[in-house]
Amino acid sequence: MLAVLKEHPAPGVSVKEVPEPKPKEGEVLVKVKYASICGTDIGIYDWIPWAAAHIKPPTIIGHELVGEVLEVNAGQGSPSTSSGSIRPGDLVSSETHIFCGNCLTCKEGNLHVCENMKLFGIGRDGSFAEYATIPLKTTWKNDRRIPLEVMSIQEPFGNAVHAVTKAGVQGKRVLVVGLGPTGLCAGAVARFQGAHEIVGMNNSAYRRGLAEKTGWFDRVSSTSDFEDRDAYDVVLEMSGSRLGIQTAFDAVRPAGTIVAFGIPKDEISVDWGKYLINKEITILSVFGRKIWETWHTTNEMLVSGKLDFHNMITHRFPLKDFEEAMRVMKSGECGKVLLVP
Ligand SMILES: [Zn+2]
Ligand SMILES: [Zn+2]
């Protein structure tokens, strides 16, 4: 089968034929229908230090997908799954965070920050291939009312669901800093959950235009024409950029809330006294999705039919054209980019 392989510990990937995988005990085999490219995959492609520390080549990369189940190898004492039993023919997606289920953090119900976590498409083979195997315990059975393409973006959408839900935005003024796909999704979730006003911020005119097209934002802004200091009840920091984080601290109201989601490349310094003490703000950090609580919330929102993603999914490429898809991702002139094996 064709797959996108991190073959060597170096920048770039190989798009090549590899043997079809066989599901081990406790795994399902799926025919991948759509796989979507994540910002993380750019870092993996470029072989940033984080990628080098987490990936042992050769590994099939990619972690966002929808696939049709071909085979279930439940084995003995099959683990409980998201939605009861999974059968051939089901349309499934995958939670990226493969939890152990045994550590204290897991036992406390925080599976998404498991102490022994493995990552799908990073610490083991993932979704950029014609066929993939997924651990049963991280397989999510999709509701067939959700469009197939949208099923493939639930993992990043779920990030936004977890971030916005944790903050609580009903009736509040909300600023979303960073309008990549997850930032755009944060606008959608804030709209769905009844925010009073939603402003999006990005320094790329393309991304601001995309945000306007989705209809999820009341207005958009760039950091250079931004004047709303101390104005927002909730600031969702989705950019991970130094400038974005600084803007979040300036824009949040005294006693307001910042949600930290975007991951900076380097350490970030903060004026502790000016922001954390004098403004008495709350900072919430968000990593991935609550398993399976966030997926259920995501599902409810998607089956409601109230969210239209056609402006957000901007590109589709055959799997063989992965290099071209990656070029578009790196240009930043895109929303969500899908691969079709
Ligand atoms: Zn992702
Ligand atoms: Zn664990």
323-338 pLDDT, tens per residue?
999 999 999 999 999 9
Site of tokens 């003024």? 173
Coil/strand/helix, residue 74 = coil
Site of tokens 């392989």? 5
Domain 2-153+309-340 in CATH: superfamily? Answer: Medium-chain alcohol dehydrogenases, catalytic domain (3.90.180.10)
Which residues of the chain are in CATH 3.40.50.720 domains? Answer: 160-285
Asked if residue 83 has pLDDT above 60, the reply is no
Asked if residue 174 has pLDDT above 70, the reply is yes
Confidence of residue 79 (pLDDT cuts 50, 70, 90): low
Beta-strand relationship, 91-94 and 97-98: unpaired
Asked if residue 62 has pLDDT above 60, the reply is yes
Asked if residue 135 has pLDDT above 60, the reply is yes
**Whether 154 contacts 180, CB under 8 Å:** no
What would the two tokens of residue 280 be? 């008495």
Compute, in angstroms, the gap from residue 74 CA to the centroid of ligand 2.
21
Which residues are near ligand 2, the ion (C-beta closer than 5 Å)?
A: 99-100, 103, 106, 114, 116
What topology is assigned to 160-285 in CATH?
Rossmann fold (3.40.50)
Whole-prediction pTM:
0.96
Which residues of the chain are in CATH 3.90.180.10 domains? Answer: 2-153+309-340
Beta-strand relationship, 313-318 and 336-340: parallel
Question: Nearest ligand to the C-alpha of residue 107?
Answer: 2
Coil/strand/helix, residue 326 = helix
Half-sphere CA count of 207, side-chain side, radius 13 A: 23
Question: Nearest ligand to the C-alpha of residue 110?
Answer: 2
Number of other CB atoms surrounding residue 168 within 10 Å: 14
